[in-house]
Amino acid sequence: MHKGTTFEKLKIASFDFTCCEGCQLQLANRESTLTDFLDLLDIRNFREISSEQHNDYDIALIEGSISRPDEVERLQAIRRQAKTLVAFGTCACFGGVNSLKNRFSLNELAVEVYPGMEVETGLVKKISEVVKVDLSIPGCPVNKEEVERIVVSLVTGSQVTLPKYPVCIECKAQINTCLFDLGEICLGPITRAGCNAVCTTGKTPCLGCRGPAEEINMAAFLELVKERGLSENDLREKLAFYNAFEGLYQP
């Protein structure tokens, strides 16, 4: 933005539910641009940044999934206040790692892990299963540059966009060796880009934390895994890890 240009600061609040708060810390830890970033905002509630708490805000960033009845009530109250509600990070967008517990009997797990204690918990839900979501920013954690770009777009009234192409495009730009050629299952061909292929550049297969890219060819991807003789169980585990490909794969 040009110096001298003035914008009305966005009244923004950030809230955490069932999560590690890593996405919020991504913003708070970005010291090189944090001052300029905060100059765009009127922080009303964001405990990683300020101890002040106010209930008047226009935009609510929601990190985490929903796993308790009290979280449902709290989220619905936030939705009533916010003009724009943003699902912030993979847990909020898809359920995330927390969704893994949906595979098991919660009562049996509670008795095993917390014997003699009453544990109030339930099936994990993504934010959009509880309230209307206006904008989703995926990632585990979110990409700091992407979030700042989106917030600037909101401040200036510009169109908010996410990459439509898969992580493979960014991976090739890094001149990486394809992990399929190294005998690994990588979800890069079907996962939305925007992370700058950080995992695959470190020789770690993509687990799809940003969810499916647009117009993916799942059939061709599954055929690739089969042709390479790779483990179907490994594929199933990777696709289920963040719950981001729910309904797109039927073994």
For residue 26, give the CATH number of its domain: 3.40.50.700
Average pLDDT along the chain? 91
For the stretch 197-200, contacts whose Cβ atoms lie closer than 8 Å and that sit 24 or more positions apart, written own/partner, are 197/167, 197/170, 197/171, 197/173, 200/167, 200/171, 200/174, 200/176
Structural domain boundaries, residue 192: 167-240
- Averaged pLDDT for residues 140-151: 90
Domain end marker among 127, 156, 185 = 156
Q: What percent of the chain has pLDDT over 70?
A: 96
Q: Is residue 52 in a domain?
A: yes
Find all residues with CB under 8 Å of 31, minimum gap 6, and list them.
Answer: none
Report residue 232 as tokens. Answer: 């179907």
Span 166-189, pLDDT tens digits: 999 999 999 999 999 999 999 999
Name beta bridge partners: 41: 10
Find all residues with CB under 8 Å of 171, minimum gap 6, and list them.
Answer: 178, 188, 197, 200, 201
Q: Is residue 70 in a domain?
A: yes
| Residue-level pLDDT at 30 | 65
Q: How far apart are CA 201 and CA 128, in angstroms?
A: 32
Name beta bridge partners: 136: 87
Span 207-227, pLDDT tens digits: 999 999 998 999 999 999 999
Domain end marker among 103, 124, 156 = 156
| Residue ranges with strand state E in 48-143 | 59-63, 84-88, 135-137
Span 51-97, pLDDT tens digits: 888 989 999 999 999 999 999 999 999 999 999 999 999 999 999 99
Report residue 99 as tokens. Answer: 């969704």
Q: Is residue 162 in a domain?
A: no
The tally of domains found in the chain comes to 2
pLDDT band for position 142 (cuts 50, 70, 90): very high
